[in-house]
Structures are given as C-alpha cells and as structure tokens.
Amino acid sequence: MALDCDSVNGTSLSDIRHYYQWTTPIASFSNHLRHHLLVPLCVAGVLSNILIVAVLLRPSMRSNAFNHFLILIAFCDATVMAQSLIFESVSQCNPLFYTRGWIVFTKIFGISTVLIHSTSLWLTVNMAILRYSLLSRGSSPPSSLCSPISSLLPPPNTTPAALLAMATAIVVAILGSLLNSIRYEIVDEGEFSPSTMNAWGKYRWKEGDQVRNYGIRQPSFWNCTYERTNFWIVAVVLKLLPCLLLTIFMTLLVLTLMEARRRRQRLAAVSSNSNAERTTVLLTVIVAVFMITEVPQGLCALLQGVYPQLRYAVTSLNPLFNMLSLINSATNFVLCVLMSAVFRKECILMFSTCFPLSFSSQTRSDPPTMLNLSSKNGFVPVPTDT
C-alpha cells in the first residue's frame, strides 16, 4: 500500500476531485485502447524488434557503431513488450494469479520495466548526443576549452565511443532505478480468502474455493523521505532530464540537417555527401518519436511534483502513458524499413535463406554491393535511397 505523504486540506481535496474528473474521460478512452490494442501491439512489437536485432547482427551491419545503439534499444523494447504481454495475459480469475511465482513476476515486472525503458530512453539520448558531436566536430574546429576533454574520448564515429555511450546510459538508468527497486516487498501472511463470485465457472472455480492471499507492499523502513526522494529521482533522472536533452539535441540535429542541406545545394555536392545527412534524418525521426511519447510523461511528472493535488489525476493517465511507451517501442522497425534501403535489402537477403524460391531472382539480380559504404562522414549504416 502506497504512503500518503502529501497533506490534503479542504481546498486541495476539491482540486483533486476537479482534476481527477477532468482526466476521467481520457483515462476511460485509454483503458478502452489498452483492452483492444495492447496484445496485438505487443506481439507485433516483439516480433519487429527481434527482426531488427536479427538484421543488424548480420556481418555487413554489425560493424557500424550506430547500429549498436539500435540493437540494444530493440532488445530493451522487445523485453518490455514481452513482459507486458505476459502480464496482460493473466487475469484475476486465472489460477496462476494466486501463486507465489506470479506475485514474484509482478514485482520483477514493476521494477524491470522502469529500468529497461529508462535504459532505452537514455540510449536514444546518448545516440543523439554522439551524432551531434560528430556533425559539429566536422563543421567547426574544437574550442580550446573542450579539446583536452575531447582528446581523452574516442572519436564519436567509432565502436569504442558507442560502447562508452551505451555503458553510460545503462549506469544512469541503474542509478536512477535503485530506490525504486527496493520500494516494494512481497507479503505472505499465510491467509486464505473465498474466491470472487465473478470467477465462478471460469478455470473450474466454484463457490467455496479458497485462494492464497499474496500481496505487495512497501517495506517497514520505507517512509515519506524515501518516497519523495524516489519520486524526484525517477521524475528528474529517468523522465525530465532525458526529455530535456532529447528536445535540445533534436533541435540541434534539425538545425544541423538544414545547414547541411543548404551547404550541399550551394556547393552542388555529389550524392555521397548526403549519406551522413540521410543517417541524421533517420536518427532525427527516431528521436522525434521518443519525444512525442515521452515528453508528456516528463511534463506530467514535473506537474505532479510541483502540484501534489495532480497526483491522482496523473496516476489515472498511466494506461495512456503505458500505451504511448509501447507504441514507441514498436515503431523503430517501421522507421528502418520505410527510411533505409540498406535495411530493406538486408531483410530480403535474410529471408531469402528461408524462402529461396521467392527471393532467389531478386538476390541474384541485385547483389548487396551498396553495403560497402564509406563512413568518413559519420555513422552511415542505414542511409535512405528512397
């Protein structure tokens, strides 16, 4: 049971009711969407992210540093969606719901989804930062203040730089989730209670059947100080800060993209100079999708901290936020297919081993020579030749 660490007087209580009533239609619509779309969305998301990993692990693709981010992000997204699918598949009438194994999974699900989704978010942030640092390094000489620091770091278009950025994202997500990981404990007092009436007739339940009472609650040492500290760490480190950085570097990437396009038009550059630009477009779209789905959650976290009377209203919107996060997790495959000819080519080559009769003519007539791309302008594993 959650602590009530906010003092509520008559005025704020009326505000709580007002804001909660205002969000009720949105929450009702979100629950309706969740009921009909969560399972097909999770199934499609798991399969599509597995395909991303399979394609990007091919020898011609895995040598590119930019693809390392996409592989790890796809793995995180597939894990979260698989867990959500399992969690959604067990209803309160299912006998598994009343086992200790299920309550353990519920606790792990609550902790790991926060950690894994935050890792995915920070991976996207660091990917944008690394991409912008590469483009800015090529467009302007480094300042004397930043040169000693940059000399200690690997070049941003290399695998060591990508691995360092990914390790940093994982460490930040772990540190931000530490308090949340000890926030709840499993309770088993050895008590039984009658099965609910709406379960009778389902899974062979009948009147008089007893169920074991397992529960999850906050541990005895948990107090309001821990609660407030955990809230602000999760809100700032796992929501607000990555959303702010995404906004900043999204803007910088778009400005850099516009400047590169103007420069290319002015100099009438050859098409090979636009490889880095097309890679930046793909990254920018991925970052934009993250912003659309994550910034509302960051803003609501900030409002909830500043105005505690919004807590219950924001909590009622959790199904909407969960659906936005799942939609975000399922979009990267679509983006790669739509925007990258190389990714489409590798998909065809991969499936040709399973369906040789369907793909043999295409793979013979169109060999994958376009995979031998120059990377001097930056990450160019998935340029778009559309």
Evaluate whether 293 touches 328 at the Cβ level (below 8 Å): yes
| pLDDT score, position 82 | 94
More confident site: 138 or 177 = 177
* Average pLDDT of the residues in 308-315: 80
| pLDDT score, position 311 | 80
The topology (CATH level 3) of 38-139+152-362 is Rhopdopsin 7-helix transmembrane proteins (1.20.1070)
Is 362 a residue whose pLDDT tops 70? no
End-to-end CA distance of the chain: 54
- pTM (two decimals): 0.79
pLDDT digits (tens, 9 = 90+) for 93-116: 788 888 889 999 999 999 999 999
pLDDT digits (tens, 9 = 90+) for 61-70: 877 888 889 9
Is 302 a residue whose pLDDT tops 90? no
| pLDDT score, position 182 | 92
User: In the chain, what are the domain boundaries?
Assistant: 38-139+152-362
More confident site: 187 or 353 = 187
| pLDDT score, position 191 | 82
Is 261 a residue whose pLDDT tops 60? yes
pLDDT digits (tens, 9 = 90+) for 5-42: 665 555 567 777 777 788 888 888 888 888 888 899 99
